Amino acid sequence: MSAECRTVVNVGPSHPSTHGVCRVLVELDGEIVRRAEPIIGYLHRGIEKMAENRSYLQVVPLTDRLDYVGSMYANWAYCRAVERLAGIRVPERAEYIRVIVCELQRIASHMMSIGSTGADTGAFTAFMYAFNQREQVVDLFEALSGSRLTYNYVRPGGVGADLPEGWVERCREFVAQHPAAMMEIDDLLFGNVICRARTKGIGVLTPHDAIGWGASGPVARGSGVDWDLRRDDPYSVYPRLDFTVPLGERGDCYDRGRVRLWECVESCRIVTQALDQLEPGPVQAEGLPRLLAPRPGDAYDHIESARGSLGVYLVSDGSVRPYRMHVRSPAFANLALLPMLAEGHTLSDLVVVLGSLDPVFGEVDR
Amino acid sequence: MSFVWGLLYGTGAVILIAGGAVVGVWWERKVSARIQLRLGPQQLGPAGSLQMLADVPKLLFKEDVVPASADRLLFRYAPLAVFAPIAMSLAVIPFWAGWAPLDSAAGVLFFLAVPSISVLGILFSAWGSHNTLATLGGVRAAAQMVSYEVPRALAVLSVVVLGGSLQPSELMDAWRWWWIPVTLLGFGVYFIASIAEMNRGPFDLPEAESELVAGYFADYSGIRWAVFMMAEYGAMIASALFGAALFFGGFMWLPGVAGLAVHIGIAALIITAVMWVKWTFPRLRQDQLMTFCWTVLTPLALVQLVLAVVVALWL
């Protein structure tokens, strides 16, 4: 069919299924997507530039606003880069707390993604079940940091505050019930015949393309690419913890969704182990000046966020402000796959594919 | 005289649908909340039952926006074209022994044919909105509603074969309790096809929120939007009442007012089941929807028809 006969639809920037403010310019041939072009930048705030005018500590709240579904990750990735740049040693307890909050964050973030898989396919009930779990994590974070979305909790040299009284018990309660809740969602959503029909074989990503396009996280692992920074470039106390990396086989939306589901179960194991190994001690490196001024140089560090390899690159010119900050955003790399994955499927599948890539536009646009 | 009767009937049908929609929306919010680990409305009145009294004036007083690029005539009257056929279809539902508001000799046919006219209204609104997403929703609705007519009509036909009449009152007079096991499969087909007819989940593709925002009524607001909602609930009420009569005997179980109560009770159960299905299942895709209609539902309806014919001949 010639290009003249195609319908052009703007999905977004304000649309129920764009997971933020993404605009996808879709060319339709009937219901079939012939071309889908994500147009990004609607949430661009210039965070990387703003960081150049703030002290190292003041940048942490900015990183909250990158991936607002998983603020802890950006906090941590940034802090690791600062610590590498300034040569700060983080106390052991702080490292454990970071692992605990980030694994809880993975659960919270994946709940958003799995819930929207349900909402995108029209099963809004699954969304509510997933958010029931996410709410509990967010409650834990609220007790920890005072906020429910932008935590500003992981700081250069440690974490913002020690765990409040009774928090460990609440956390244990949550991780004890979470796997059963995941099995229920697995049954209700991924076991549903319509949901299977809607997600299986849709948006198939080959391992070759996953590597070639720089996909990471559950998107790559859904295609069977066995790559997880927690295991393959171990950081923090992850080498002391026992966990497996779930992998998909076919690389379709179904596999990506189920990889996220199993990662949540694994996160519960990690949190339980970390809570067991947690020893009393300081949570902030001692003797840290209020204004950090690292020696001139640069540093890059990355962690495994809920969306993939999240990296922060920092350049210091010796002053109290970063000379340059750059964020390697996994959501950005994963979103680039959308045109390839959605082509040839229907408009209904486009939103499912977009949801399975799980982009957060705070991080894509920065 | 027939004009006065028609006016009276029309007013009654609108009141019934409006009242049914108000109760239905509240009930749906409670049912969906129950399914979704929520509480639903609970602040206004007992169990939030007065919530709708607040919602109705809100809808009435909202600004009635007509998009600048819309075809004004089509856009403004499309909700009526959707609503009117559904209100009309209530006329042939037998509520009382030997009586229906319009006891025509072709009453059953009337019920199957007239609500289909609302497809036109949906196309009017879709085209009149001058909006790509709305047009897609309208085209989806037309394909879906026309296709699901077939299994629905076949399922109803099996009851007609058993009763030997298209006249609602005669059909109900002939109704016997042992029809229930014979036509159970037919009811299943009727139930599924009716959900598709009223564009409710899992067949709500024409208004698919996550894809088309709201499909053909994406651009509507205020009272016109409320009329679309009333049409949806009206279709649900009409299908449930009609199904309760034909497949479960409706008022035949008890005499007089008690029978009417049984009829409404069965219909309420069917409506609750429709809501349950909507809040449990994800949405189908357009091609899956059509495949399901033609390769699963229609053959099942034909099997039911053959079964009914065999039983009717054997008697």
**Tens digits of residue pLDDT in B75-97:** 888 888 989 899 888 888 887 77
Residues in chain B with CB shorter than 8 Å from the CB of A15 are: 213
| Token couple for A233 | 């470039």
A148 domain-assigned:
yes
Q: Are the Cβ atoms of A17 and B211 closer than 8 angstroms?
A: yes
Number of domains in chain B: 1
Cα–Cα distance, B241 to B87 (Å, whole number): 13
Output the DSSP codes for B109-153: HHHHHGGGGHHHHHHHHHHHTT-HHHHHHHHHHHHHHHHHHHHHH
Cα–Cα distance, A280 to A349 (Å, whole number): 50
Q: What is the pLDDT of residue B210?
A: 66
**Of residues B177, B179, B79, the one with CA closest to residue B124:** B79
Cα–Cα distance, A217 to A316 (Å, whole number): 29
Residue type, B4: V
Q: Are the Cβ atoms of B280 and A31 closer than 8 angstroms?
A: no
Number of domains in chain A: 1
Helix, coil or strand: residue A304 = strand
Output the CA–CA distances (angstroms, integers) from residue A171 to A70, A138, A261, in the order listed: 18, 11, 19
Q: Are A78 and A155 in contact (CB under 8 A)?
A: no
A37 domain-assigned:
no
Where is A36: in which H helix or E strand?
strand A32-39
A9 domain-assigned:
no
Mutate to test the interface with B, among A27, A116, A121, A356 (most CBs of B within 10 A): A121
Which DSSP category does A187 fall into? I
Residue type, A178: H
Q: Are the Cβ atoms of B283 and A347 closer than 8 angstroms?
A: no
Q: Which domain holds residue A278?
A: 48-341+350-365
Measure CA A347 to chain center.
26
Give the chain A residue nearest B287 (alpha carbons). Answer: A346
Q: What is the pLDDT of residue A110?
A: 92
Give the chain A residue nearest B284 (alpha carbons). Answer: A194
Rounded to a whole number of angstroms, the distance from the CA of B312 to the nearest CA of chain A is 36
Which among A8, A15, A118 is the nearest to B282, CB-wise? Answer: A118
Output the CA–CA distances (angstroms, integers) from residue B2 to B101, B110, B244, in the order listed: 12, 18, 28
A22 domain-assigned:
no
Mutate to test the interface with B, among A347, A349, A353 (most CBs of B within 10 A): A347
Residues in chain B with CB shorter than 8 Å from the CB of A189 are: 282
Each residue's pLDDT, cut to its tens digit, for chain A (366 residues) gives 455 578 888 887 877 776 778 888 888 887 888 888 888 888 899 899 999 999 988 999 999 888 888 899 999 999 999 998 888 889 989 999 999 999 999 999 999 999 888 888 888 888 889 999 999 999 999 999 888 888 989 988 888 888 898 899 999 999 999 999 999 888 888 888 888 888 888 889 999 999 999 899 899 999 989 888 888 888 888 989 988 999 988 889 999 999 999 999 999 999 999 999 988 888 888 888 888 888 898 999 999 999 889 999 999 988 889 999 999 999 999 999 999 998 888 888 888 898 888 888 888 888
Q: Which domain holds residue B74?
A: 2-314
Q: What is the pLDDT of residue A136?
A: 92
Q: Are A20 and A285 in contact (CB under 8 A)?
A: no
Helix, coil or strand: residue A158 = strand
A3 domain-assigned:
no
Sign of CA dihedral B102, B103, B105, B108: positive
A12 domain-assigned:
no
Q: Is B55 exposed, middle or buried (0-12, 13-18, 19+ CB in 10 A)?
A: middle
Q: What is the pLDDT of residue A1?
A: 46
Q: Are the Cβ atoms of A125 and B285 closer than 8 angstroms?
A: no
A357 domain-assigned:
yes
Q: What is the pLDDT of residue A318?
A: 86
Which among A123, A192, A349 is the nearest to B285, CB-wise? Answer: A349
